[in-house]
Amino acid sequence: MAAWGGQSNPTDTSYSVSAARPAASRPTTTYKPLADGTQGTLQTLAAMAQAVTTGLPPEYRSYRDGTTALAAAEICGDAADCAVALYEFTRDHISYIDHPWNMQVVQDARRTLMLRSGDCVSKSVLLSTMLASIGITSRFVAQATTPEGFDHVYVEAKRDDGSWLALDPTADGKGGRPLGYAGWTQSLYDGGFEMAYDIF
């Protein structure tokens, strides 16, 4: 089972990006069946890309959403590397929460900014949406960090030289993970693999 949308009202006000704090609205959740295995991973990646490009129903807030674009511009400010500034904001100011058992939650960027929390999927959607709003191309990378198959996702941002920079927004030092930096990714088991998924 997959859940698209938000689930609760914002409570964390420890960091304030003025444009990133839209007025609270009643959260909406749409439930869809989620396939098993790789098909479920592809289904989730497609929903994540839809959240970035066209938005999820019923609000359809995509990278063109003014609130998200203003937040991204404010976070970037005069940073030397906007992609890294957006990554560090998502890593450090959006709390990681695991999704409910036997469900995959996909929140749009605006909802994640309101809630100030999300799992690797929702944090990756937020980061990719903000990157897209300022014209930086990104893609999702699904990781199989255990023999059971895909269990993690992160973002790669395309650099001016055509290379890809890994940006794992869950690398916040919690849950035994080391503090992440731009370029850091979770370790794969021996024989583990990754799958890149284009957003646009």
Q: What is the pLDDT of residue 19?
A: 43
The total domain count for the chain is: 1
CA distance 25 to 32: 22
Domain assignment present for 21: no
Write out the residue range of the structural domain in which residue 38 sits: 2-6+29-198
Q: What is the pLDDT of residue 10?
A: 33
Q: What is the pLDDT of residue 103?
A: 77
Q: How many CB atoms lie within 10 A of CB 150?
A: 21
Q: How many CB atoms lie within 10 A of CB 71?
A: 26
Domain assignment present for 117: yes
Q: What is the pLDDT of residue 17?
A: 53
Q: What is the pLDDT of residue 183?
A: 86
Domain assignment present for 191: yes
Domain assignment present for 17: no
Domain assignment present for 15: no
Task: For 20-44, give the DSSP string.
Answer: G-PPP----EEEE---SHHHHHHHH
pLDDT tens digits in sequence order for the chain, 200 residues long? 234 333 333 333 333 454 444 444 555 677 788 888 899 999 999 999 999 999 998 889 999 999 999 999 999 999 999 999 999 999 999 999 887 777 788 999 999 999 999 999 999 999 999 999 999 999 999 998 888 889 899 999 999 999 999 999 987 654 444 456 788 888 888 888 999 999 99
Domain assignment present for 97: yes
We report the CATH number of the domain holding residue 159 as 3.10.620.30
Phi then psi dihedrals of residue 72, to 5 deg: -60, -45
Domain assignment present for 22: no
Domain assignment present for 18: no
